[in-house]
Amino acid sequence: MLSTQLPPDAAYAVLQSHDARFDGRLFVGVTSTGIYCRPVCRVRLPRRENCRFFSTAAQAEAERFRPCMKCRPELAPRPLAWTTMDASRTLAQQAAAWLDACDDAEASVEDLAKHLGITSRHLRRIFQAEHGVSPLQYLQTRRLLLAKALLTDSTLPVQEVAYAAGFASLRRFNAAFVEHYRMQPTALRREGGASAPTSRLRLSYREPYDVAGVLAFLAPRAVAGVERVDERGITRTLALTHAGQRHAGWLRASFDKPGEVGVELSPTLWPAVGSLLPLLRRWLDLDADPDSIGAALGEGAVPGQRLPGCLDRFELTVRAVLGQQVTVAAARTLAGRFVERFGDELPDAPEGCRRLFPTPERIAEATRDDIASLGIIGRRADSLIALAQAWPTLAFARRDGSPEAAAEELTTIPGIGPWTAGYMLMRGWSWPDSFPPGDVVLRKALSAKIDPNGPLLSPKAYLEAAEHYRPYRSYAVLHLWRHS
């Protein structure tokens, strides 16, 4: 991964060359204007003596710089959330992930510290060391930048923007916005405003991005009634909880512009956009470092390979169980029947996407015969019911904590073994360095790379051969599957 701790002269060279590899990892504050920008910004190059460099937008805002209206720092890709690091840095990254997913307007540092099992003093110390700002400064910046994006790109009324961004009241939102950006929120509204009932989110990523490869992976797995994949994007239904309320609707992600994904949301999902945004970025792996991944994969790597995640961990786990020991096409057929039987209808949704994936509550009430009648073998029906009944208590259902602990927790569910748990780490947790044990296709592929005419690697040698791809073994899984 490229370092953001660059000497000032090197950082200025990045700014001069508009080096997109550092987008989201480097920000420049210009003292003569009081504005901070991304390195890809195309405004006039500031003088070197007027530049201050930061690793995060939160650091720039803590020093009272305002975001640029042209390059829009809120659109920048983020650093990869999960990497190989020491315990303190891992805790600091887990804390940031908790704050990114936080939908509680009254959340406190004490709440976060309790969740992580450490003292609030220790949390502040490690967070400051890793991110350069306090947890509350980080959270405030995240909320303000989300509000800025919604004011610019959506038609939500200002009061709804405030709540969607995580502010407890319109008064608090207005006060924070004016204090940080020295303007009223309404000043950001485009003249005349947009009239469409659904607006578009803009989500940036670092190029290259293998759009064709991502869509080719998702298309044969798209579940009838829930998802539809075409040559330019994905349309699907979704239900999620934000600030204690359930929101259901549909979305479409389109790869219409290099370096950016446009996301159209149904009106029912806009109020939950604060919780949805980090899910969208993980689903499409928008924060990946393509250069580092390509170097780890080596010869034959497809430029810009991504690791598709998920929007709903329960859905992905169910689909993984249904896919055990059957083909992708057969798993898709079973999932389609499952949705048709247990999923709720979604009115006014696009054609082909008019059902929501079944909820844990619905499946927890189902009987073995209800599920087995769809052609699903009995012991898998038992696994799905056990999974649904345990779901409210599983830490895996949340988006924070330790990935390794989550995988271990999953294997306590009958019928979910190490391979399925490893697959869930890859796609459900977006963990970049998972390698499912015992995968026959991967074992053959690694054996052939070592000796095309030799025997299959032993299970131990198979895992040892995968070490070559650290810390991106999850990407190696897709890479090897693809080339097999």
- Which residues are part of the catalytic machinery? 37, 439
Pairing of strands 27-30, 51-54: antiparallel
Encoding tokens for residue 171? Answer: 């008064």
Omega before 208 within 30 of 0, i.e. cis: yes
The identity of residue 215, as a single letter, is L
The identity of residue 76, as a single letter, is A
- Bridge partner residues of 228 (DSSP): 235
For residue 317, the Cα-to-chain-centroid distance in whole angstroms is 17
The SS3 of residue 6 is coil
Reported in sequence order, the residue ranges of 99-194 that DSSP labels E, i.e. its strands, are none
Of the CA atoms within 13 Å of residue 283, those in its CB half-sphere come to: 24
Residue (of 167, 161, 159) closest to 104 by Cα position:
167
Between helix 440-450 and helix 473-483 the angle, nearest 10°, is 80
- Bridge partner residues of 239 (DSSP): 248
Please, is 304 exposed, middle or buried when counting C-beta atoms within 10 Å of its C-beta (0-12, 13-18, 19+)? buried
Please, is 49 exposed, middle or buried when counting C-beta atoms within 10 Å of its C-beta (0-12, 13-18, 19+)? exposed
Of the CA atoms within 13 Å of residue 135, those in its CB half-sphere come to: 26
Are 184 and 103 in contact, with CB atoms under 8 Å apart?
no
What does DSSP assign to residue 222? P
Are 393 and 90 in contact, with CB atoms under 8 Å apart?
no
Are 285 and 309 in contact, with CB atoms under 8 Å apart?
yes
Nearest-angstrom CA–CA distance, 284 and 309: 6
For residue 249, the Cα-to-chain-centroid distance in whole angstroms is 19
Are 253 and 276 in contact, with CB atoms under 8 Å apart?
no
Between helix 109-116 and helix 87-100 the angle, nearest 10°, is 130
Residue (of 310, 316, 262) closest to 285 by Cα position:
310
